[in-house]
């Protein structure tokens, strides 16, 4: 009898872990995809698509620049895109972590690098930094509600 209970419990635990692992894997893939689309818009200065990824109560915390709300973030994006230089973000894929937050949220943690191209110069790395992003899923659409960008030290934008 004890062996039967142990065997049944083992099967239940293994099935749960397999299902949980598959759900986590699907969430990871979905957030990775959303991150890629969002930062593709950033890299292309596509402010319309970029804004679609942000919630109306969006907050961006930057260790050097402080707190920006949605409209400040969009103004910063427009100003960056109006300059005669190009900025490109690249995710360090090996650093990416995705964690479930309730039924409709995800926490994305990782490291990314930014590259600058100034007029008449070759692209160069500006720096490699850490980030935390909180994603919310509403009406089957993922949007960023909070971003924390930190560990900037000195940025090389020249």
158 in a structural domain: no
Which residue from 95, 153, 148 is spatially nearest to 127, judged by alpha carbons? Answer: 153
Query: Domains in the chain: how many in total?
Result: 1
- The predicted pLDDT at position 69 comes to 98
Sign of the CA dihedral running 57, 58, 60, 61: positive
Distance CA 32, CA 73 (A): 22
CB 113 within 8 A of CB 89: yes
Residue 71 pLDDT > 70: yes
Sign of CA dihedral 130, 92, 38, 78: positive
72-33-96 Cα angle (round to 5): 85
Assigned domain for 47 exists: yes
- Within a domain: residue 156? no
CATH of the domain at 55: 3.10.450.50
The yes-or-no verdict on residue 105 having pLDDT over 70 is: yes
pLDDT at position 4 is 65
Task: Kindly report the number of other CB atoms within 10 A of residue 133's CB atom.
Answer: 21
**CB-based burial label for 105 (10 Å; 0-12, 13-18, 19+):** middle
Does the pLDDT at position 22 exceed 80? no
Domain that holds residue 95: 2-150
In a domain, residue 98? The reply is yes
| Inter-residue contact 106 to 100 (CB < 8 Å) | yes
84 in any annotated domain: yes
Is residue 105 in a domain? yes
So what's the pLDDT on residue 153? 83
Distance CA 30, CA 143 (A): 12
Q: Structure pTM?
A: 0.81
Q: How far apart are CA 57 and CA 70, in angstroms?
A: 7
Residue 19 is assigned to a structural domain of this protein? yes
Q: Can you read off the two tokens belonging to residue 84?
A: 């005669």
pLDDT at 3 over 90: no
């Amino acid at each position: 009898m004890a062996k039967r209970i142990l065997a049944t419990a083992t099967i239940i635990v293994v099935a749960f872990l397999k299902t949980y692992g598959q759900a986590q894997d699907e969430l990871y893939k979905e957030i990775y995809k959303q991150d890629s689309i969002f930062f593709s818009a950033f890299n292309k200065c596509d402010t319309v698509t970029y804004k679609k990824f942000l919630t109306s109560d969006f907050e961006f915390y930057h260790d050097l620049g402080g707190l920006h709300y949605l409209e400040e973030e969009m103004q910063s994006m427009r100003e960056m895109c109006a300059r005669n230089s190009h900025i490109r973000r690249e995710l360090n894929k090996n650093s990416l972590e995705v964690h479930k937050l309730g039924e409709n949220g995800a926490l994305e943690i990782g490291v990314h690098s930014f590259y600058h191209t100034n007029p008449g110069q070759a692209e160069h790395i500006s720096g490699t930094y850490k980030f935390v992003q909180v994603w919310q899923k509403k009406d089957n659409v993922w949007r960023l509600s909070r971003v924390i960008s930190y560990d900037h030290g000195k940025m090389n934008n020249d």
